[in-house]
Amino acid sequence: MNQAVVVDCVRTPIGRAHAEKGLFRDVRSDDLAVSCIQALMERTGIDPTEIEDVILGNTQQTMEQGLNVARNVLLMAGVPVEAGGATINRLCGSSLQALNQATHAVMAGFEDVQIVGGLEHMQHLPMMHGMDINPKLYHRTSKGALMMGVTAEFLAQTNGIGREAQDQFALRSHQLAHAAHESGLFANEIIPVYGRDETGELILANRDQCVRSDTSLEAAGALNPAFMPKMGTVTAGNSSPLNDGCRHVGDVSEVGRTPGPQTDGQGCFYCRGWSGTVRDGHRPGSCDEEGFATRQLEAGRHRFD
Amino acid sequence: MSSEQGASPSTITLSMPEADIAVLTLDMQDKGANILSRSVLVELAAHLETLEAQPNLAGVVFISGKPNMFIAGADLREFVASLNAPKEDVIALSKEGQDLFARFTKLPAVSVVAIDGICVGGGAELAVWCDRRIMSDGPKTEIGFPEVKLGLFPGWGGTARTPRIVGLGNAVELVTGGESIDAQAARAMGLVSDIVPAADLLPAAVRLIRIEQQTGQFRKDRQSWAGPIRMSETELGFLGATASAVIQGQTKGQYPAPLAALEVMMGGSMMDIQAACEFEATEFAKLFGSEVNRSLLNIFFLTDRNKKDEGVDDTSLSPESVNSAAVIGAGIMGAGIAAANVKRGISVSLTDANKGALAKGVSNVLTEVSFNKATRQADVDLAVKMAPLINGTVSDAEVAACDVVIEAVVENADVKKSIYKRLEPLLGDNTILASNTSTIPITGLAKDLAHPDRFCGIHFFNPVRKMKLVEVIRGEKTSDQTVVTAVAYAKRLGKFPIVVNDGPGFLVNRLLLPYMNEALELLCEGAEIAVIEKVAKAFGMPMGPITLYDVVGLDTAFYAGRVMWEAFPDRISASPVLPALVKAGRLGQKSGAGFFSYQNPKKKGEFDPEIAKFIDPYKKGDREFDKQEIENRLFLPMLLEATRVLQEKIVRDVRDVDLGLIFGIGFPPFKGGLLHWADRVGAKELLERLKTLESLGARTKPTELLQSMAAEGKTFYSN
């Protein structure tokens, strides 16, 4: 069986899904995806004719993300028409599923070079856009289970994760992300793209908009619960923001010819995600519990000099 | 069988359109609605006995003989008669209903309920006990469990059967929310198998019976619906926790039924159907006859009476038809009134002396009437459909040509009178002229009119689209005919009109003012704003009196109050706090500050330390108040004023007082109305409480009515 490796990995900065302030409020997500693929091809120096498939994760496959957006993106990016293109939806786990699928193809020996990634514009296409849930689903679950904030509350309640613990964890995330930006740790993965700053000026964006350098435990503690008024613990400060952005990785087989200098191999986890039940928040732990294969492909093993 | 015997006419008839199809048709003669009274249930039992003896039957259809009306529920008058029954009897009544309906699930035949029109309460319970349901596509067709609105939940097996058919998540929403759903929603969740035109209901039911006999699916469903609900424990726990949080947020602990219903459904889901039904019956009995149940039943009867009341005692009069209305003054009230007309298909001429205000008013009307609830946006189709009904005009002739002319201009008697003087000669012979004044006496406004008999007050409340109350105010010379027409017209607008005799503050403002005034007195005696607000809200008011000042506007409140201070100087004196705030430009929400400050993006009221500057100069003391004292101070003066209103015969019935306060100021429904609440407390106890307020003088002095009630052991409702 072939060994699959990740050759290189790029992403756009992440913008807030905000109609007045969002970095990408007038930028389409498919354009962001094109930028990623072009950057990936340029950095790896890969011969575009080698690319056999482009698999992109996406949860709202309509409007600017409609038809088969992976195919549209690869064509706009200049990947030859002979390459495939498939868009995958497993909700939160969509891009991971794209990566898994590419890995399967490589390991099985069917294909050698793929680009995988994901795109989502949660401002242009909000989570509930065009949604028409079948009420019969509620024989098995309930409406609240489809709201991630509420499942987070359930997770917090059933596991005794208090407000302060959540705020501290969130603060740590912001601080680490901010430090990473400051020290240039993201410089290699973020590709600068055009966006708009909060005042409305066109900028070449290279920083995540949702990382807050100025937050504190006091500021986080002052926020009201976002999903369960009064008694809840999950706030805008300690939960994931709604974002717009895009990320792509090149996935190749060990034996595949992967030219180009300085490509860092990255670790990749294989696990199956699922959404739409109350277990939404439990995912990583459950993978082990439920016996799903969690396998780390050998991190950093491949460095092409 | 009993349906063919006996002297009383049968309400359920059995027919056999085909050899193996039985049809039970329910039609309560000489009644507009079908209700499941005890006698109807006895008849049903007899029919079921007949059907149980027919092994070759393929199907039974249960249908109503009335168009647009399936079953409006159980007989609430029978409920009221047994409110004081022992718990065992209540449990037995539940079980009787459950056992009766459960017989549908044991018939050899498929049972199908065919629903055209409203199917609620006990009717919906009967429906869910049958194997299948089909509904007509008529606009009035709906199914639901409104029991929580009466402080109860379904007690004939509805909480046990419904979640087994549509899933626990959907059933919890249906039963704890109490809102009916239409045929499409019912079909989407699997409650209904087919939707057809009303005329096709019976053939469609027979078609469904044939299909079910072919697949045998109904037998599998019977088996699965007899057992516990299969839902993982985690999902069950999650549903319970989230639904409970939502319900507690909505009911604030004041309405126990929805939470109790949730607990019954959660508990019952893990049992077989029989145990779930027994659990339901036991828990149902706990709510039956509770204070909240009694209060909400009272409200049901209050509103029911209002719907039937024509506004005068002379039943020989019938209302003049109103096909067009004119509204003078295109401000907030005028535009609101115009929109209420347009929404009910009554064409409106809206006019204003100021052309800019008129244009804005017409635009406001269109915005409101084209609001689509489903999309929460203006709907162009609706706007196009409604636009012909609104006519912005400056022509007196167009205004005068309407059947009802409502004046809603500034609260200035001279301005109003000059408008009447100009328009009255142009009005038709049957046209009603009405004022939307909230403060100016109607008799005085009518003084110079040629036809004061055709003049009255039609007082809408702000915001018109939300407030269901309308006061129809009789001046001295207003005719019964005018009142009857005004009442019928207000009902056509979807309002609950109460007829009030002319007097300061009419009914609602007259009763509100002592309460509002007392809040200011309390402030000057050292009570804290937050404490006053908390007590009022704990009592059940939608907001505290201090917040209400800010919402109404302090200038408006001052102006409305003046009428009362002038009329009743012995018991109500103007508080100096209001004019001080008005003078400083603190007019309430609209000016960014009143008692509270509204200097934040969401315009939420925040405590403002500056307020002390306006209260401290008038402070008469500074002490702590306990909750009961504040509650007594706020609500007893209001109650005493209500007894004076009754003594003066300002209203025709005590029920008008309760209805007026519930729909006019949001008096807590779970207390059943001011006078219902007073009856539950008792006149003697009220006198005891008033004794603690003796030192306040005239405004807390017991009235004759209250004293005689206490002496004779009477209640307001029994007087």
CA B379, CA B385: separation in Å to the nearest integer?
10
Q: Which residue of B has its CA nearest to A140?
A: B231
Establish whether the linkage from the previous residue to B668 is cis, with ω within 30° of 0.
Answer: no
Interchain proximity B243–A230, CB inside 8 Å: no
Who among B188, B235, B241 is closest to A135 (CB)? B188
Residues of A with CB under 8 A from a CB of B: 134-145, 150-151, 153-154, 157-158, 228-231, 277-279
3-state secondary structure of B401: coil
Residues of B with CB under 8 A from a CB of A: 166-170, 172-173, 185, 188-190, 231, 234-235, 237-239, 241-243, 245, 249
Residue A8 is classified by DSSP as E
Mean pLDDT of all residues in B34-52: 96
Say what the pLDDT of residue A7 is: 85
pLDDT band at B602 (very low <50, low <70, confident <90, very high): confident
pLDDT band at B30 (very low <50, low <70, confident <90, very high): confident
Answer whether residue B2 shows pLDDT above 50.
no
Residue B531: Cβ within 10 Å count: 16
pLDDT band at B49 (very low <50, low <70, confident <90, very high): very high
B263-301 pLDDT tens trace: 999 999 999 999 999 999 999 999 999 999 999 999 999
B170: which chain A residues are within 8 Å (Cβ-Cβ)?
135, 138
Burial class (CB in 10 A: 0-12, 13-18, 19+), B332: middle
A140: which chain B residues are within 8 Å (Cβ-Cβ)?
167, 231, 235
Give the closest residue to A48 by CA, choosing from A105, A113, A93, A107.
Answer: A113
- The better pLDDT of the pair B561, B341 is held by B341
Burial class (CB in 10 A: 0-12, 13-18, 19+), B437: buried
Say what the pLDDT of residue B170 is: 97
Interchain proximity B242–A277, CB inside 8 Å: no
Interchain proximity B190–A136, CB inside 8 Å: yes
B104-148 pLDDT tens trace: 999 999 999 999 999 999 999 999 999 999 999 999 999 999 999
Give the closest residue to B87 by CA, choosing from B294, B289, B278.
Answer: B289
Interacting residues of A150 by C-beta distance below 8 A, sequence separation 6+: A144, A227, A228, B242
A116-169 pLDDT tens trace: 999 999 999 999 999 999 999 999 999 988 888 999 998 998 899 999 999 999
A160/chain B closest Cα distance in angstroms:
15
Say what the pLDDT of residue A6 is: 84
Say what the pLDDT of residue A252 is: 64
Interchain proximity B234–A279, CB inside 8 Å: yes
What b/e readout covers B276-294, taking b as 16+ CB neighbours within 10 angstroms?
A: bbbbbbebbbebbbbebbb
Mean pLDDT of all residues in B555-561: 89
Kindly state the helix (H) or strand (E) to which residue A194 belongs, with its residue range.
strand A193-196
pTM of the model: 0.88
ipTM field: 0.81
Residue B493 is classified by DSSP as T
CA A189, CA B364: separation in Å to the nearest integer?
53
Burial class (CB in 10 A: 0-12, 13-18, 19+), B665: buried
Interface test with A, best of B238, B250, B262 (most A CBs within 10 A): B238
The token duo for B32 is 């507009």
Give the closest residue to A57 by CA, choosing from A122, A119, A131, A125.
Answer: A119
CB-based contact B475:B502 (threshold 8 Å): yes
CB-based contact A42:A101 (threshold 8 Å): no
B663-687 pLDDT tens trace: 999 999 999 999 999 999 999 999 9
B167: which chain A residues are within 8 Å (Cβ-Cβ)?
135-140
CA B6, CA B591: separation in Å to the nearest integer?
72
Interacting residues of B447 by C-beta distance below 8 A, sequence separation 6+: none
B249: which chain A residues are within 8 Å (Cβ-Cβ)?
229-230
Say what the pLDDT of residue A302 is: 31
CA B640, CA B642: separation in Å to the nearest integer?
5
Say what the pLDDT of residue A297 is: 34
> Residue B173: phi, psi to the nearest 5?
-65, -45
Burial class (CB in 10 A: 0-12, 13-18, 19+), B395: exposed
Say what the pLDDT of residue B40 is: 97
Say what the pLDDT of residue B106 is: 95
Which parts of chain A have pLDDT scores under 50? 254-305
Least confident of B196-200, B414-418, B620-624: B620-624
Answer whether residue B94 shows pLDDT above 70.
yes
Which residue is it, tokens 């046209």? B431
Say what the pLDDT of residue B398 is: 97
Answer whether residue B9 shows pLDDT above 90.
no
A281/chain B closest Cα distance in angstroms:
13
3-state secondary structure of A21: coil
B190: which chain A residues are within 8 Å (Cβ-Cβ)?
135-136
The DSSP annotation for B212-262 comes to HHHH-HHHHHHHHHHS-----HHHHHHHHHHHHHHHHHHHTTT--HHHHHH
Who among A135, A229, A277 is closest to B170 (CB)? A135
Say what the pLDDT of residue A251 is: 63
A143: which chain B residues are within 8 Å (Cβ-Cβ)?
169, 173
CA dihedral B240, B242, B243, B248 (to 10 degrees): 110
Interacting residues of A147 by C-beta distance below 8 A, sequence separation 6+: A227
Residue B186 bridge partners (DSSP): none
B422-473 pLDDT tens trace: 999 999 999 999 999 998 999 999 999 999 999 999 999 999 999 999 999 9
Answer whether residue B74 shows pLDDT above 60.
yes
Say what the pLDDT of residue B465 is: 94
The DSSP annotation for B455-485 comes to EEEEEE-SSTTT--EEEEEE-TT--HHHHHH
Interchain proximity A138–B169, CB inside 8 Å: yes
Percent of chain B with pLDDT over 70: 99
Pairing type for strands A295-296 and A269-270 reads: antiparallel
Answer whether residue B3 shows pLDDT above 60.
no
Residue A236: Cβ within 10 Å count: 15
Answer whether residue B386 shows pLDDT above 50.
yes
Give the closest residue to B235 by CA, choosing from A152, A283, A135, A279.
Answer: A279
Interacting residues of B251 by C-beta distance below 8 A, sequence separation 6+: B258, B259
Answer whether residue B72 shows pLDDT above 60.
yes
- Amino acid of residue B627: K
Count interface pairs A-B at CB distance under 8 A. Answer: 65
Rg (CA), chain B: 29
Q: Which residue of A has its CA nearest to B185?
A: A135
The whole-chain average pLDDT of chain B stands at 95
